[in-house]
Amino acid sequence: ALTAGIVGLPNVGKSTLFNAITKAGVEAANYPFATIDPNVGIVEVPDERLEKLTELVEPKKTVPTTFEFTDIAGIVKGASRGEGLGNKFLSHIREVDAICHVVRCFEDENITHVHGEIDPIADIETINLELVLADLESVTKRITRVAKIAKTKDKDAVAELALLEKIKPVLEDGKSARSIEFTEDEQALVKGFFLLSIKPILYIANISEEDIMNGGTNDHVKRVQEFAAEEGAEVVVICARVEEEVAELEDDEKQVFLEEMGIQTSGLDILIQKAYSLLGLATYFTAGVQEVRAWTFKKGMKAPQCAGVIHSDFERGFIRAETVAYDDLLEYGNMQAAKEHGKVRQEGKEYIVQDGDIMLFKFNV
Ligand code: GDP
């Protein structure tokens, strides 16, 4: 499964947030055959549509889909030079598919800040720079290697070298590889470079209890939002401490607690949803009287592959899929009515499944 890694400087609230994630998360007991790494938190993906479908179909049970966060150990400055936890940190980042960077936006004189004062942009740049430096090192090494082959006029090597030469000056400039625009061909090639600073990123602005109750923002948050906007990245504002408390509550208590605090939606719920879409993930549903269930797929996946998410036999024996868009089903109230209005489609092997599709797969066993 794809996973988002939680990173950040020391004392920004990573452990607090990760605690909230594991407390809110699914029970390890529900995964009897999987050994869950203590650094992995598996959470249900909140989805209103699943609730609506449950009201509509009244199944025996409803099963949400899940998402994984990985807690990456604290970074120390100088990671790319192999000091302290550095190399380990970088190798963990290599293994995740997206980065959730927790940035300290709360003041608290009792909790020291590594830079001595709250400066979220400096925090962001510290970690981004470590990734950039690590990438610069691997790109430089690769250039040396590929340049030799490119001399023989090997077409692939020539293309690769050109791409590496396009990336290098950007990194030298201290900028992340994700800021570069790649052509489709380049995109395919760049995957093979396993760059760190190219991974999709989301900033988590951790604010105080007071600020979350008073409108949920502050000047630090605004600076983070401006910075992120320039990068085309998103920001989720949370109060990790509040989320830790919320995570211990039952659903109905949770809503009451949030309302009392003047918060509309739990920051963690928003974080889960944003991290999910940052990874290019989407949800389709199966809706039967036994079970209404949400399934995760990667955007762009075709119907047989999506069927394979349920079971590999479904993919192998795929014949076709009967499908209706979520909005259409909701509008007409049931499958029969949706059918009468021509909203239920028969789709074949080439159908690209859309977020919110309700799928019924037909397959040979
Ligand atoms: P980490 O080093 O990034 O894992 O940070 P921790 O989660 O251990 O948090 C460091 C300190 O900041 C702890 O004393 C936390 O209780 C405190 N802290 C974390 N989140 C918040 C928050 O939202 N508000 C306030 N006031 N303190 C927080």
Return the CATH number at 335.
Answer: 3.10.20.30
Domain boundary among 191, 213, 241: 191
- 72 falls within a domain: yes
Cβ-based burial of 56 (10 A; exposed 0-12, middle 13-18, buried ≥19): middle
Q: Are residues 183 and 214 in the same domain?
A: no
Ligand 1 atom closest to Cα of 8?
3
Describe the chain by its helix, strand, coil percentages, rounded to 5. Answer: 45, 20, 35
Ligand 1 atom closest to Cα of 242?
23
Q: Are residues 110 and 23 in the same domain?
A: yes
- 285 falls within a domain: no
The model's pLDDT over 290-331, given as tens digits with 9 standing for 90+, comes to 999 999 999 999 999 999 999 999 999 999 999 999 999 999
Please report the pLDDT score of residue 189 as a whole number: 95
- 318 falls within a domain: yes
- 287 falls within a domain: no
Annotated binding-site members for ATP: 11-16
DSSP secondary structure string, 9-47?
A: -TTSSHHHHHHHHHHHSPPGGG-TTSPPPTTEEEEE---
- 108 falls within a domain: yes
Domain boundary among 221, 243, 278: 278
Q: Are residues 18 and 110 in the same domain?
A: yes
Q: Are residues 104 and 217 in the same domain?
A: yes
Annotated binding-site members: 11-16
Using DSSP, state whether 68 is helix, strand or coil.
strand
Q: Are residues 159 and 185 in the same domain?
A: yes
Asked whether 176 and 230 are in contact (CB, 8 A), the reply is no
Closest CA to 360 of 273, 292, 274: 292
Q: What CA–CA distance (Å, rounded) separates 141 from 277?
A: 33
Cα 60 to middle of ligand 1, angstroms:
41
Cα 13 to middle of ligand 1, angstroms:
4
The model's pLDDT over 225-274, given as tens digits with 9 standing for 90+, comes to 999 998 889 999 999 999 999 999 988 899 899 998 888 889 999 999 99
Ligand 1 atom closest to Cα of 110?
14
Q: Are residues 46 and 80 in the same domain?
A: yes
Which residues are within 8 A (CB) of 317 and not within 5 positions of it... i.e. 6 or more apart?
363, 364, 365
Cα 230 to middle of ligand 1, angstroms:
27
Nearest protein CA to atom 17 of ligand 1, as residue: 13
Ligand 1 atom closest to Cα of 17?
7
Q: Domain containing 164 — which CATH number?
A: 1.10.150.300
Cα 294 to middle of ligand 1, angstroms:
33
Cα 105 to middle of ligand 1, angstroms:
11
Q: Are residues 17 and 95 in the same domain?
A: yes
Q: Are residues 357 and 311 in the same domain?
A: yes
Q: Are residues 21 and 91 in the same domain?
A: yes
| Number of structural domains the chain divides into | 3
- 354 falls within a domain: yes
Q: Please state the φ and ψ torsions of residue 272, each to the nearest 5 degrees.
A: -60, -45
Ligand 1 atom closest to Cα of 238?
23
Q: Domain containing 97 — which CATH number?
A: 3.40.50.300
- 58 falls within a domain: yes
Q: Are residues 227 and 352 in the same domain?
A: no
Pocket test for ligand 1, best of 6, 12, 16 (most atoms within 8 A of CB): 16
The model's pLDDT over 39-93, given as tens digits with 9 standing for 90+, comes to 888 999 999 999 999 999 999 999 999 999 998 853 334 445 555 556 778 888 9
Q: What CA–CA distance (Å, rounded) separates 132 from 276?
A: 24
Give the confidence band of 21 by pLDDT, cuts at 50, 70, 90: very high
Cα 239 to middle of ligand 1, angstroms:
9
Q: Are residues 220 and 80 in the same domain?
A: yes
Q: Show the domain range for 94.
A: 3-116+199-278
- 122 falls within a domain: no
Which ranges in 282-347 belong to alpha helices (H)? 303-310, 312-316, 326-332, 335-340
Asked whether 102 and 204 are in contact (CB, 8 A), the reply is yes
CA distances (Å), origin 236, targets 181, 222, 265: 25, 12, 12
Q: Are residues 74 and 105 in the same domain?
A: yes
Task: Check residues 128 and 29 and name the one with the higher pLDDT.
Answer: 128
